[in-house]
Structure 1
């Protein structure tokens, strides 16, 4: 497992082996285990330290975060967990590496109930829509539903990433919540048969495939469009973004499936007081604004505005189904992906 340092202070394995009798770190610090890319959260950390004087130490892991916390046990230095979707938040809770935060007036005021664990083990910070990328040149319609993706009219015209990826598992889980397992299996089979190729790559690769003419529509997270539009380091991604329009599925009925970035208090947080200050900061209007501008997601705080770029995608109507209810179906969703052979691609 490779730990990534990108301009942030990262603590190493040696610190994890420090004596349990001594504090893991000095007062005035917090230790963050993060699935979020360091570059995306650095502005938040800088603002928090400027406001409070509390230093932040960040360990970035692209996988295995929960397993690491379990292995560290009571000696873990982790104070706060930052994750990128509901599946990972739920995984952390079920693995017993979080502790509840109940009755915090700041957090509960700023984060609506639909975006937090009923028992207080995790809290959503921003949302992103699981939207449809559609070719501006080859797709005339501007309305679509998830159910329509199984319509044979799209045969050979859809691209997606791996069906087992947590972003797709979240969507499939929401379909189960709305339609039941049997209907979702039929839908997923139809979607599979409409694929232009085997699922591959990330969400940005789906936009690239549309640009290249390999498919006409694709599933992707809304925030990737903003990241592509503003990518000066890889300007070809601006061309990919320019080739697509964002369609928000099910706008005329239940709304678009949304997922969250989120936070949780680590079970054995050695700097709990500072950790709670950080969590309150992340729920605040200041942090929500930074998040919205930096990562092109939607703030969960009522009344907080998304960035101008995100507004340019059009109006989103989020599905109001509680995320905890959706997450309860993720095991069934994963099993359906395998059952229909989704990752094998369309039947030839």
Structure 2
């Protein structure tokens, strides 16, 4: 039985990040509130379109074939309009605890990212839990990857420079998809870029949970709900697949170069640090950043110092990853 005692961590929060949590009412995530949460997903983000990005990057919503027996998968495709350039590409998975979120509310952010990195981006509208349990979401992401690889020439994408990226549950899906791709052996990935990834259901039942992590935004209660919805059973059981919870994998060899960042007050901080350590011990080139005073989702406070540092670190890593095989 996990000890859920938690120490007040407000005094550890970066000053620039306090306003965001003060404006957010406490949230008890459950199936009753889920429809409203989905309807209002992204409302607090207040993302603004960049006029230059609109001019330079086309964003198209469409569907691609699902895996055999699965429905079509929705995506948002971002392609810079400048022709004659062979680019790298990112397959992106949005966050939302596996139970909420969608790709289209993030169009302003990822159109701008495609412009700044001069890359193509495919953002996946995977099926959500509890309506679709594991492995539905990760299979949707695999289907989108298969489509991206198959259409690479038509999109002006270099197949040797395709990588994965995701935030929170999207980071968990990216990590799981990297494992699934390695094990199926159909495609090769250039990198995985994981932003405070949700990768270990056992955090829900830890004997000694982090006393200062998870007080804000994404709490232990929400975490248990998200995992329960995805798995269809209580988290922490003995037979959870690593394609659902990537931290469950026993062999990390052969995974692509990895970037992980997280906040020191994020509920996922211990699982993310542990995953980075295991990747390093498995011989996987790994870059890890932990930001003091930052809770889960701190990236949404755009003017905070920790957010600006995190974006700088992330963009720098993505630029390097997208250009790593350019001469091949």
TM over 0.5: no
Q: TM-score, normalised by structure 1?
A: 0.29
Q: Which has the higher contact order (CA 8 A, sep 6+)?
A: 1
Structure with more of its chain in helix, by fraction: 1
The structure that has the greater radius of gyration is: 1
Q: TM-score, normalised by structure 2?
A: 0.30
